[in-house]
Amino acid sequence: MAIRTLIWGENVHEQVNKTVADIYPEGMHNQIASLLAPDKNLSVRTTTLQEPEHGLTEKTLEETDVLLWWGHRAHRDVADEIVERVAKHVWQGMGLIVLHSGHFSKIFKMLMGSPCALNWREAGERERIWVVNPGHPIAKGLPAYFELENEEMYGEPFSVPEPLETVFVSWFQGGEVFRSGLTYRRGAGNVFYFRPGHETYPTYHDETVGLVLRNAVNWAYNPLRFADITKAPNVPVEKALEPITARGGSLHESGEEGLR
């Protein structure tokens, strides 16, 4: 069965910036989709911020195994209820791949529980991306390193939680370094942050970047996606497995839910 993959694009820079429009005339989201196309195990769709419910309806997310997220200029325009909806599906087992400036998106900051801040410089400098975990599935088929001739610099410190795994570390022409490929698990959902992808450079025309993204989708897919675990902690347990003697009073009436 194909991995149902959805690419969410902010689709703002392409509409207002000629440089971006010239590099991505069909939109960044559609160019990312073209990088995934060689993997016939993926069924790829796209949607954008401008769609009703930002293109992330309950039905759409139920039919999505892995979601790729690119955003930058309009993080604040993403409705909080949509962010909570996406987070719920990640907890249930939907994979999430957050790209470049998506580090500052509401969904990534919610799942990380941290500022997700960093240092940056937009100078079109060379980025050398080192594969520091060559045995990881996301690094399958990659050389020891690959280079992007023009990229925006991101520099440490990167205020995210300690990752499960660090797959890539970047060096920039100006001397900075950055953890560019990080994995996390939130509930049943696999999360991958991949740094490259500034809108004014042709990063999503790079074949090696495409290989990384295809590998990442296959890694993020969880075939054992299950029911809504987010409600589990608020279910009262009226009958214990072993005999107990109740002590003290109770603040809750029998059968009340969602109060803790």
Arithmetic mean of pLDDT over the chain: 93
**pTM beyond cutoff 0.85:** yes
Chain segment 94-121, per-residue pLDDT in tens: 999 999 999 999 999 999 999 999 999 9
> Residue 238: its pLDDT value, please?
77
Q: Name the residue with higher pLDDT: 258 or 116.
A: 116
Q: Name the residue with higher pLDDT: 71 or 245.
A: 71
Question: What is the set of domains in the chain, with CATH numbers?
Answer: 3-232 (3.40.50.880)
pLDDT band, very low/low/confident/very high, at 226 (cuts 50, 70, 90): low
d(CA 54, CA 41): 26
d(CA 157, CA 160): 9
Q: Name the residue with higher pLDDT: 236 or 53.
A: 53
Could you give the percent of the chain with pLDDT greater than 70? 92
Helices 207-220, 28-36: crossing angle, 10 deg rounding: 80
Please give the average per-residue pLDDT across 127-149, as a whole number: 98
